[in-house]
Amino acid sequence: GAVVSQHPSRVICKSGTSVKIECRSLDFQATTMFWYRQFPKQSLMLMATSNEGSKATYEQGVEKDKFLINHASLTLSTLTVTSAHPEDSSFYICSARLVHEQFFGPGTRLTVL
């Protein structure tokens, strides 16, 4: 089956620093990847759609200058949380599309102190 990996699985950082999260499709090429955020006891909220070779499309209310997305290859998308603050602490999950289905990475738990 289609496998999506994410790195790191957990990260703790100080307020004001930047954190990069990588999402890789391991056995298929993904022209489109998605980034979600999930706060405790809540649903997955779509943050942005990442398109290989072009700019990401952000959902309403998501700051594109704070959440930088780069999709430079068909198997890798990165999300950089810039100037992280405690309210950015969350579970970040990427997803890669293959035909109709979306395959999810294992998630990255970000804690900002």
Partner 1 sequence: GENVEQHPSTLSVQEGDSAVIKCTYSDSASNYFPWYKQELGKRPQLIIDIRSNVGEKKDQRIAVTLNKTAKHFSLHITETQPEDSAVYFCAAPPPLVFGKGTRLSVIA
Asked whether position 102 contacts partner 1 by CB under 8 A, the answer is yes
Out of 56, 93, 110, 112, name the contact with partner 1 by CB under 8 A: 93
Asked whether position 81 contacts partner 1 by CB under 8 A, the answer is no
Q: Which of residues 38-77 bind partner 1 (CB under 8 A)?
A: 42-46, 49, 59
Asked whether position 15 contacts partner 1 by CB under 8 A, the answer is no
Asked whether position 107 contacts partner 1 by CB under 8 A, the answer is yes
Q: For residue 49, which amino acid is it?
A: T
Q: Which is nearer to partner 1, 14 or 54 (CB)?
A: 54
Rounded CA gap, 75 and 24, in Å?
A: 5
Contact between 4 and 24 (Cβ < 8 Å): yes
Burial class of residue 23 (count of CB atoms within 10 Å of its CB; 0-12, 13-18, 19+): buried
Asked whether position 28 contacts partner 1 by CB under 8 A, the answer is no
Asked whether position 5 contacts partner 1 by CB under 8 A, the answer is no
Contact between 18 and 82 (Cβ < 8 Å): yes
